[in-house]
């Protein structure tokens, strides 16, 4: 039990480090570039409130006006800021209203001063203004259907950029004055056209690409209004998004201030300071359970060296729910699948623990931010009459993890830098 407790404390320390490294205000302050003249600021996304508050500190009374679009808050930034609440992950009429006001705000800033933009994950939902002929309900239905079909964020945003009027660089076309965009990246590899669907960035994708996403994910018939709009666009009836090299966006400067790699590096460094052999795996993608099992097999192989191990990983996995009505999330599924695989592979030769965490503070439609699973957690689930293997197969892991005391409670983090975690393995007797 002493070793198990030590392993759990190490995992909690790594979790704390992940939260610290995800702080958006610190990242913005570290990357800030002073600018003269009259300033306007727009903050959009899950980290909008934190980033707006930091911009207020950095700009002071030089800020003529500021607009925040993100989660509702009872304590919005002071000064010249206005807060527009919006919904996530599916757009609503509130999001449409917010997006419309953002367009007017950006046009005003283009004629009066420099526009500062703080962009973070969630912006795709928050800035949802449908193209003519489509509705917000069409956008919400498409988002929900593609997510359930297992579409990647790149695929989903390829469609969004071609059925809306602000994404794929279109908002940038309204920002004709000097514009600096500070980006908190929630997309692996930090592609500017995918993060929040790239409202200020040139877009390399086309209407044909968006149509192929619908076909690849089996959604062409399920989303007739979206399909018709994309088909019309492919025939040239709708204008394309601005492409790389378009001079109309040349005045816009992007700076990525933090990403999943930032958090991953901080967690790995902390694990090394705890005396663990550290291996790092970046850009972990695909089905969450399959990714968890693959990481567990690798950790089990590395553990044969007989030294305490931390296999630290970061990425963005998905869950293809299908017809299942279970409740869970990708971090929770990855953690449970990896823990079960380690249990099977290691037996009694070593102690193991898996922690997986969604940095935005909420993993799927649950009250958990992820999971911390060890052999004690699995025993508690089984003692409660729950079969973790069945819960995993039915994509219904949240209840089982909670019964096992393995859930990490959801919390408002005001950031989003994907998922991060670690598989910890310690030989018995160490």
Q: Where are the domains of the chain?
A: 2-19+261-427, 24-258
Amino acid 92: pLDDT: 96
Nearest to 313 by CA among 267, 375, 272: 267
Sign of CA dihedral 374, 424, 390, 419: positive
Question: Which parts of the chain have pLDDT scores under 50?
Answer: 1-2
CA dihedral 299, 346, 368, 382 (to 10 degrees): 170
User: pLDDT by residue (tens digit) across 257-314?
Assistant: 999 999 999 999 999 998 999 999 999 999 999 999 999 999 999 999 899 999 999 9
CA atoms within 13 A on the CB side of 36: 0
CATH 3.20.20.140 corresponds to the domain 24-258: no
Amino acid 255: pLDDT: 97
User: pLDDT by residue (tens digit) across 369-397?
Assistant: 999 999 999 999 999 999 999 999 999 99
Collapsing DSSP to helix, strand or coil, 73 comes out as coil
Q: Report how far residue 67's alpha carbon sits from residue 44's, in angstroms, rounded to the nearest whole number.
A: 8
Decide: 136 and 130 in contact? Cβ < 8 Å: yes
Nearest to 344 by CA among 312, 275, 407, 297: 297
**CB crowding 34-63: b at 16 or more within 10 Å, else e:** eeeeebbbbbbbbbbbbbbbbbbebbeeeb
Output the CA–CA distances (angstroms, integers) from residue 266 to 14, 63, 259, 408, in the order listed: 9, 33, 11, 20
Contacts 24+ apart (CB under 8 A), 55-60: 55/28, 55/116, 55/118, 56/81, 58/28, 58/29, 58/32, 59/116
CA end-to-end distance (rounded Å), the chain: 12
CA atoms within 13 A on the CB side of 135: 7
368-374 and 407-409 beta bridge pairing: antiparallel
Q: Report how far residue 338's alpha carbon sits from residue 342's, in angstroms, rounded to the nearest whole number.
A: 6
Q: Report how far residue 225's alpha carbon sits from residue 221's, in angstroms, rounded to the nearest whole number.
A: 9
CA 33 and chain centroid, separation: 25
Amino acid 75: pLDDT: 67
Q: Is 218 exposed, middle or buried (0-12, 13-18, 19+ CB in 10 A)?
A: exposed
Angle at 354 between CA 191 and CA 358, to 5 degrees: 35
Decide: 253 and 181 in contact? Cβ < 8 Å: yes
DSSP states of 105-167 as a string? HHHHHHHHSEEEEEE-TTHHHHS--BPTT--HHHHHHHHHHHHHTT--HHHHHHHHTTTBSST
Decide: 150 and 112 in contact? Cβ < 8 Å: no
Q: Report how far residue 256's alpha carbon sits from residue 130's, in angstroms, rounded to the nearest whole number.
A: 27
For 2-19+261-427, CATH gives: 3.40.1480.10
């Amino acid at each position: 039990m002493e070793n198990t407790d030590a392993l759990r404390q190490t995992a909690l320390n790594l979790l704390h480090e992940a939260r610290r490294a995800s702080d958006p205000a610190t990242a913005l302050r570290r990357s800030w570039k002073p600018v003269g003249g009259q300033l306007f600021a727009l903050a959009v996304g899950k980290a909008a409130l934190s980033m707006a508050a930091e911009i207020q500190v950095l700009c002071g009374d030089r800020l003529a006006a500021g607009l925040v679009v993100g989660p509702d808050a009872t304590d919005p930034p002071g000064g010249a800021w206005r807060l527009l609440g919006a919904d996530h992950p599916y757009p609503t009429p509130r999001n449409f209203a917010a997006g419309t006001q953002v367009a007017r705000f950006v046009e005003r800033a283009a004629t009066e001063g420099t526009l500062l933009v703080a962009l973070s994950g969630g912006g795709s939902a928050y800035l949802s203004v449908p193209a003519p002929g489509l509705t917000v309900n069409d956008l919400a239905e498409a988002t929900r259907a593609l997510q359930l079909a297992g579409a990647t964020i790149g695929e989903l945003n390829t469609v969004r950029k071609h059925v809306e009027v602000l994404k794929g660089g279109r908002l940038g076309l309204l920002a004709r004055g000097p514009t600096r965009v500070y980006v908190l990246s929630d997309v692996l590899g930090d592609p500017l056209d995918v993060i929040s669907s790239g409202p200020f960035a040139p877009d390399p994708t086309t209407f044909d690409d968006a149509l192929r996403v619908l076909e690849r994910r089996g959604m062409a018939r399920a989303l007739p209004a979206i399909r018709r709009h994309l088909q019309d666009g492919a025939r040239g009836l709708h204008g394309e998004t601005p492409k790389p090299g378009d001079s109309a966006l040349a005045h816009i400067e992007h700076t990525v201030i933090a990403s999943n790699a930032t958090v991953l590096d901080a967690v790995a460094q902390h694990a090394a300071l705890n005396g663990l052999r550290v291996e790092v795996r970046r850009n972990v993608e695909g089905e969450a359970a399959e990714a968890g099992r693959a990481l567990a097999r690798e950790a089990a192989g590395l553990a044969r060296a007989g030294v305490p191990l931390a296999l630290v990983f970061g990425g963005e996995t998905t869950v293809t729910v299908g017809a299942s009505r279970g409740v869970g999330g990708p971090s929770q599924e990855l953690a449970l699948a990896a823990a079960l695989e380690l249990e099977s592979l290691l037996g009694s030769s070593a102690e193991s623990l898996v922690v997986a965490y969604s940095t935005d503070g909420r993993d799927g439609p649950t009250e958990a931010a992820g999971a911390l699973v060890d052999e004690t957690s699995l025993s508690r689930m089984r003692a409660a009459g729950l079969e973790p293997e069945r819960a995993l197969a039915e994509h219904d892991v949240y209840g089982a993890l909670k019964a096992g005391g393995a859930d990490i409670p959801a919390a408002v983090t005001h950031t989003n830098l994907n998922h991060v975690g670690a598989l910890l393995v310690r030989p018995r007797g160490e």
